[in-house]
Structure 1
Amino acid sequence: MSVPRPEAAVLDRIRVGSAPDSWGVWFPDDERQVPWQRFLDEVAGAGYEWIELGPYGYLPSDAGRLREETGRRGLRVSAGTVFTSLHRGPATWDATWAHVAKVAALTQAMGARHLVVIPSFWRDDKTAEIIEDSELTAEQWRNLASGMERLGREVRDRYGLDIVVHPHADTHIDSEAHVERFLDATDPDLVNLCLDTGHYAYCGGDSVKLIETYGERIGYLHLKQVAPDILADVVRNGTPFGPAVAQGVMCEPPRGEPPLEPVLAAAQRLGVDLFAIVEQDMYPCAPDAPLPIAERTRRFLRSCGA
């Protein structure tokens, strides 16, 4: 006799979307990436309503044209994304702001309210070249915290956006210890977190524990899973993140870790509206690979109640 599957939880505070990353898009322009028109067609066809901008310049940067292209496909933008190197101190501010301002202006024009901020890599994600030490000095931690607070204030005051900082493999905000140190050093009124479940698991963290401990700092979610067997090989060999992705370390749910049902349930218990954007790192990938994965992932998330 078959055992009936428990009814899915009601996740009425979770707004599900996807992103160019799930179509193998990491760069504004790359011959191994699908054209942006195909991404928009397929992400809408897979059943998603919300998308991120992805790397600035991949989607049209003219807000009028982008509104037209997304609107006729029934899509809306949840966030833009920027990369920063604020641990290097005030000398990096002008260059950082020049980049941030462009992305923030487009994000605002598209009606979104979040800017995902990814710290710079200490190891190049294409070449695996070591760029700088993987551990920050005390002064660099102070620079990082104060720089993110300044960024949060400026982005909020000038563009009405909230920054959510994305812990990421091969950056200085990665492991549980580094994430907690960063959160404890920054003002919650200015800086919150984009919790990427896959990156956090990749770096040994527990997403449910983080949500339950620092729930008031969780402003945004990226849904992602890691393949445990491939991750074990990556850790054993010290493989850089880019080559690890090429090996398939990020996999489609529900095949990997962490289980997403408890993560979504913990996020729902926070009692606030949260975006949960699917991001399965797949660069590079065959152009026909993303759509069926995206369709299966959307069906899985619906089965979870999202």
Structure 2
Amino acid sequence: MTSLSPQSPPPSLSRIRIGSAPDSWGVWFPDDPLQVPWQRFLDEVADSGYEWIELGPYGYLPTDPSVLAEETARRGLKVSAGTVFTGLHHGVDVWDRTWAHVSDIAALTQAMGASHLVVIPSFWRDDKTGEVLEPSSLTAEQWRNLTSLTERLGREVRERYGLRIVVHPHADTHIDTEENVIRFLDGTDSSLVSLCLDTGHYAYCGGDSVKLIETYGSRIGYLHLKQVDPAVLAEVRAEGTPFGPAVAKGVMCEPPSGVPALGPVLEAAQGLGVDLFAIVEQDMYPCAADVPLPIARRTRAFLRSCGA
């Protein structure tokens, strides 16, 4: 009779700092009746075993740094990043409006001791209604606007607030597919612009996260951990469903039931030899208030089984 060898322990992912975000509690907007109150989010994210959080949409969590610092500290939480939305491909005419939006969030992010600002490009179709707002492809001039103004944003945010911008490829934006992500990376200064690789969005748009980490590892500054349901993804792709309604259909699913496999992604990221945040984001807007907590607990346990 052959004896069974003990199961190999998971790899040590000592360079990866795991966290979660309001997004995993169905929070997409600063104020929405379908969302849980911010106090409940903070209570439950701490209860799930996470130490790090993102700010989420500006205005959802308290914007007074002293209040937010007290509320997070007493729950044993720390902030990894703030998030901003930009439409820099529109050119210099939007710079002042963009900076007014960015500066408030960057100031709060800095005050909370975080060092990253996640930058999400504007959507070409509305994520709630699906209304087409502009063409899904950029002109050559718009690409130049996007890359040059993103570099400017990276420089200004670093010089004024000491933060590093990490640009988030996102479904229904102009930085989405492998082709567009690589074009963006090749067109921007690596000292000013890094990437927030969202594994779910990249898979949603046909990309391979492990390949991107192995090829452009020096540009990966931050991770969002997310999976897509392949069956639902095939359906929404076939039907041309906008991202918001696709989320409502369950295209983003609980790990480890979807793709990409997160273990190999985390191992590839660990292999870069740098400290990286890996923030869980399971898009679930809208969702019932009692849904997120059990999922968050199971997801945290799953990531521990991967060594994180």
Same fold judged by TM-score > 0.5? yes
* Separation in structure 2 between the aligned mates of residue 5 and residue 264 of structure 1, nearest angstrom: 20
Q: How big is each residue's C-alpha offset from its partner over 1:38-90, in whole Å with a ceiling of 9 and x where there is no partner? A: 00000000000000000000000000000000000000000000000000000
Amino acid at match of 2:76: G
Asked whether 1:14 is paired with 2:53, we answer no
Corresponding residue number in structure 1 for 2:167: 165
Residue 247 of structure 1 corresponds to 249
* Structure 1 residues 254 and 140: alpha-carbon distance in aligned structure 2, compared to 1, 3 A threshold: same
Distance 1:8 1:113 in 2: 29
Which residue number corresponds to residue 205 of structure 2?
203
1:274 positional shift? 0.1
Cα distance change, pair 186–36 in 1 and its aligned pair in 2 (3 A): same
How much does 1:7 deviate? 1.4
SS state of the match for residue 126, structure 1?
coil
Matched positions, count? 306
The Cα offsets for residues 223-275 of structure 1, whole Å up to 9 and x where unpaired, read as 00000000000100000000000000000100000000000000000000000
Residue 140 of structure 1 pairs with residue 146 of structure 2: no
Of residues 261, 264, 276, the one that matches 1:262 is 264
Aligned letter for 1:282? M
Residues 1-306 of structure 1 aligned to structure 2 (within 5 Å):
4-306=6-308
Aligned equivalents of 1:23, 1:294: Cα separation in 2 = 9
Query: In structure 2, what residue type is equivalent to 1:31?
Result: P
Report the Cα distance in structure 2 between the residues aligned to 1:191 and 1:41, rounded to whole angstroms: 34
Following the alignment from structure 2 to structure 1, what is the Cα–Cα distance between the partners of residues 7 and 192?
42
Q: In structure 2, what is the Cα distance between the partners aligned to 1:4 and 1:230?
A: 37
In 2: Cα distance, 1:237 partner to 1:8 partner: 39
Residue 6 of structure 1: how far off its partner (Å): 2.6
Instruction: Flag structure 1 segments of 5+ consecutive residues without an equivalent.
Output: none
Cα distance in 1 between the residues matched to 2:20 and 2:176: 22
Distance 1:141 1:5 in 2: 50
Opposite residue 75 of structure 1, the aligned amino acid is L
Instruction: Give the whole-Å Cα distance in 2 for the aligned partners of 1:15 and 1:107.
Output: 18
Q: Please state whether the residue corresponding to 2:307 is helix, strand or coil.
A: coil
Match of 2:303, SS?
helix
Runs (4+) off by over 3 Å: 1-5
Measured against aligned partners, the alpha-carbon deviations of 1:152-206 in whole angstroms (never above 9, x if no partner) come to: 0000000000000000000000000000000000000000000000000000000
Aligned counterparts of 1:61 and 1:200: Cα–Cα separation in 2 = 31
Alpha-carbon distance in structure 1 between the residues aligned to 2:307 and 2:293: 21
Q: Where does structure 2 lack aligned partners over 5 or more consecutive residues? A: none
Distance in 1, matches of 2:107 and 2:181, equals: 28
Which whole-Å CA distance do the structure 2 matches of 1:15 and 1:47 have between them?
Answer: 12
> What is the rounded CA distance, in whole Å, between the counterparts of 1:128 and 1:15 in structure 2?
35
Give, in whole Å, the separation in 2 of the partners of 1:102 and 1:240: 30
Task: Give 2:107's aligned amino acid.
Answer: A
User: 1:5 offset after TM fit, Å?
Assistant: 3.4
SS in 2 for 1:194: strand
**Distance in 2, Cα, partners of 1:4 & 1:37:** 43
TM-score calculated relative to the size of structure 1: 0.99
When structure 1 is superposed on structure 2, of 4-13 and 219-228 the one drifting more is 4-13
Q: Which amino acid aligns with 2:46?
A: A
